[in-house]
Amino acid sequence: MSTLSIWACLLFAISAAAQDKTPDVTMTCLVSEECLLPCSFPPATQESVRWFQQDVVVFSFRRGDISGQTASQALAGHAAMFPQVISGGNASLVLKEVGLKDRGTYRCHVRTSTGEHNAKVVLKVEAPIQGLSLELNRLSGYEEMKCIVRNVFPPPRVTWATEPPTFEDLRPITRMLADKRGLYTADSRLKTLSGQPDLIYICKVSTSYGGSTWMSSLREREIRGSEGRDLTIPCFAPPYLNNPTLHWSFTNGEDPAHILTYDSRSGDSVSTPSWDNHVELDGFRVPFGDGSLRLMDPEHGVHTGTYSCVFSVPYNTHTERTDVSIDGPTVNRSTSEAASYWWIVALAAAVVILGLVAMFAYLKLKGSAAKPPRRDPEEVTELNSVKDVGDESQMSEGGRVLAGGTNEQSGLS
């Protein structure tokens, strides 16, 4: 055989193999859902189909066979084919309620009256993120944020951030727990930063297969109001949320009660009739991230509790939870404040009086120390008597001098 003939045969064989070769197909199916493994071939007669998983026959079909379809123990009641479509060249295999054990490489081998056909399918099974749970735990001596995502495969990646950003290192502790099905629960906890009470904490969860990243954020605050006086409960969405849906709810220790829901895209609002006369929302501000709620004519026993507003868009939620305390009636509060005022006045007056008494006592003691010692009354009387006698003696002596002078003058004359 000439060289040219050999090359012609090789090219023909390669061309025939290429025509029969079907590119590998990669299928990604979700846990607990139905999955279709495709396999097509040129229609013919006398079809015989076998499906292999890792080179082990797991399902077979033979036209005219009494048993019809046969499944391995692993796929018993879990897989099926449709005989009515096989004659049309469709030998696809349907897996029901896919699990992680179904992952792997499958091969479809079809033999007909006209030849054989093979197809390879690579099956990936995933459990995507369905949602996040983000809560604040108040523990002994500190607070922590807890972010949980359940039933995910492959294991997710959890990261934390704050809004506004902080220069402090965030040091979360994350645990991955797998159940008997092989699905993971991620439990990530972050200690809150001291001295920054108004921070928004953001939990981000992503998976290795490149699906959507889920985010959930939370901010908590406390405010006080007075019975009968309108109160605005603040609620602001982070700047990265666009045209969110807003949901308000209330709880005072019981199951949360729906207040209202507002859709920024449609402008539709749905509220609970019992709250219509007590709440007011400015729908024009919601698309710009301001979902603050005005609480009108609140009552102490009815409206004291926790109010939650949730902004949501696909794969992203932001929650603001506000503990609201409504003080009692204004009259009682005024009386209490007046009583407290008079107690303060009385205390201040007592302090002033004690201070004055102390000052007077001090001045009196100081004045007493500066005066000469007082003499005894008998001593004073005796001294006065002696003084009087001395004066009388002096006067008598003076009289005698005057008399002598007179006598001397008389004698001369």
Residue 161: name the closest of 208, 206, 128 by CA.
Answer: 206
The pLDDT of residue 12 is 36
Q: Distance between CA atoms of 298 and 338, rounded to whole angstroms?
A: 23
CA dihedral 239, 241, 246, 248 (to 10 degrees): -60
Q: What mean pLDDT value characterizes the chain? A: 81
The pLDDT of residue 13 is 37
The helix (H) or strand (E) run that includes residue 359 is helix 330-370
pLDDT per position as a tens digit, 83-111: 888 889 999 999 999 999 999 999 999 99
Q: What CATH number was assigned to the domain covering residues 127-212?
A: 2.60.40.10
Report the DSSP pairing between strands 104-112 and 142-152: unpaired
Q: What CATH number was assigned to the domain covering residues 23-126?
A: 2.60.40.10
- For the segment(s) 222-328, the CATH number from 1.10.10.10, 3.10.20.30, 3.30.1330.10, 2.60.40.10 is 2.60.40.10
Tell me what the mean pLDDT of segment 176-182 comes to: 94
pLDDT per position as a tens digit, 193-249: 988 888 999 999 998 877 789 999 999 999 999 999 999 999 999 888 888 999 999
pLDDT per position as a tens digit, 184-194: 999 999 999 98
- Residue 265, pLDDT > 50, answer yes
Confidence of residue 64 (pLDDT cuts 50, 70, 90): low
The helix (H) or strand (E) run that includes residue 339 is helix 330-370
Per-domain residue ranges of the chain: 23-126, 127-212, 222-328
Whether 222-328 and 23-126 are alike in CATH topology: the answer is yes
The pLDDT of residue 90 is 93
Which amino acid, 280?
Answer: E
The pLDDT of residue 96 is 92
Dig out the tokens for 134 from the structure.
Answer: 């983000």
Judge contact between 308 and 248, C-beta under 8 A.
Answer: yes
pLDDT per position as a tens digit, 164-175: 898 888 999 999
The pLDDT of residue 321 is 95
Confidence of residue 347 (pLDDT cuts 50, 70, 90): confident
Q: Distance between CA atoms of 369 and 69, rounded to whole angstroms?
A: 125
- Residue 44, pLDDT > 90, answer no
The pTM assigned to this predicted structure is 0.68
pLDDT per position as a tens digit, 281-325: 998 899 889 999 999 999 998 999 999 999 999 999 999 999 999
Residues 6 or more apart whose Cβ sits within 8 Å of residue 263: 245, 269
Residues 6 or more apart whose Cβ sits within 8 Å of residue 394: none
pLDDT per position as a tens digit, 358-413: 777 777 777 666 555 555 555 445 545 545 544 444 444 444 433 333 334 333 33
